[in-house]
A and B are shown apart, each in its own frame.
Chain A
């Protein structure tokens, strides 16, 4: 084991990265929660309605894989169900406080149920139309149409779906800032403890990741036939997200400079600060490309790629490099990854893509507007 600088606590040397890089992968998959927020907001406001099916199917697919990440990081994965059955949610004399991990695991269950109900009822009439078109899966489509067999019945669902969308936003917003809430408020790692605006950055960052993923998927599906009405609102949300994250990262750099300038603790930040400058540059480039894509839609694929590079770099820097700074604040550990880290890290993302492929073969990603 190598360590750069001192002093360090001896137990830190055993496993410098206690939360393996999979934490960074599921932080990306959590973007599904933001896609669900966007779909819900679009339904309530009746704006960017053409993008709703894509946002919803992609959001549910990604979010359903969100717990695979932490599961892969448990040293006792067979005991994972205890998070639900013994959830530490209520403070007692022997167990003061409550656990964010337990809270979010239970919120995941609630959000999955709500968003799947929303998806099913939103798609019900469209699945009915698919069942009438025939094909091998017509019985499945008919079952999933939930008996909504005509436009009148579908229109009557609107108040219910609006209410459902509004309720769904609450757990989705809470999930949008996980795991930043956990790392800022329930850990004592030096970087995270001194990064109070991290939840804000995460919230904005997941909008960047979710819109970038949606734009990329839309580009792959449509290729030469990009619809401006679908793309334009996504690009606008994406641009706002990029500028917000870049701005918030800049603010944090200024704060650290003010708090630690001249202090021996300042050197610990060297492991993360240079990368933050690259992230800011990539996000600003994506913002410029997004503006250009509003005129030349084919550029949108570059918006997505550049933004995803920025998001990946940012998440890795925050969650993996952040763990390299010792609790003493005076030493930096060297990065040592477990041998199977790449496969483990990619698995939640691969699972999310697989679920999307399955769901998108059932639920249409483009529907005719009704009502």
Chain B
């Protein structure tokens, strides 16, 4: 749970809500698997369309972000996310979710959750960069996405995702 704690500390996430969380699933063979989840920064984000003021938007680099200053707190984006990744920030009264620590990315740092992971289970990179580790990994391994039937084209890829976790 180092990633969850690091995210909360880095982004001032109030207690009880989560920008990232880790699910525990039991495979059919009895093995236990931990699956980290967060906003998938979808290529086709269902949360952007219903936002009445355009507070939720998709940046050129693919990040799906929220402009806190024009979010009216209607909850439409939260209801539109199939992954349960969004929530109303109880302190700010606006929609909130993972930003991939864009303030850290701007300084050339990794997202807090990636940096904190003790087993390097989380790998972050620019998938449009052909030489990046993440691009090579996605191309060379059998990777999965969550809820592929939702046609949201998530940008978070999983290796060995148990089907029990695809919810």
Tell me the A residues contacting B by CB distance below 8 Å: 7-15, 18-19, 70, 73-77, 79-80, 82-83, 86-88, 93-102, 105, 182-183, 186-189, 326-330
Contacts and interface: CB of A to CB of B under 8 A. Distances in A.
Contacts of A96: 44-45, 48-49, 58
A327 B74 contact: no
A18 B17 contact: no
Interface stretch (B76-84, B114-122, B128-136, B137-145): B76-84
Interface of B: 16-18, 21, 23, 37, 44-46, 48-54, 57-60, 70-76, 78-88, 90, 93-94, 150, 167
Contacts of A187: 50, 76, 79-80
A101 B58 contact: no
A99 B52 contact: yes
Contact of B48 (A9, A87, A95): A95
A310 B3 CA distance: 49
A14 B17 contact: yes
- What does DSSP make chain A's interface, helix, strand, loop or mixed? loop
B16 A14 contact: yes
B18 A11 contact: yes
- By Cβ-Cβ distance, the 3 closest A-B pairs, closest first, are A75-B73, A9-B84, A97-B49
Given A86-B70, A100-B50, A11 B85 contact: yes
Contacts of B46: 186, 188
Nearest to A186: B50
B99 to A, nearest CB: 15
Nearest to A103: B52
Contacts of A11: 17-18, 78, 84-87
Nearest to B90: A14
B57 A95 contact: yes
B79 A7 contact: no
B80 A75 contact: no
A77 B75 CA distance: 12
Contacts of B93: 75-76
Contacts of A330: 167
A187 B58 CA distance: 18
A186 B49 contact: yes
A188 B79 contact: yes
A18 B84 CA distance: 12
A10 B21 contact: yes
Contacts of A88: 51-54
Given A7-B167, A18-B78, A101 B52 contact: yes
A98 B71 CA distance: 16
A307 B96 CA distance: 41
24 contacts: A9-B83, A9-B85, A11-B17, A11-B18, A11-B86, A12-B84, A14-B16, A14-B88, A70-B74, A76-B71, A82-B72, A83-B52, A86-B53, A88-B51, A94-B57, A94-B60, A96-B45, A99-B49, A99-B50, A99-B76, A102-B52, A182-B50, A182-B76, A326-B84
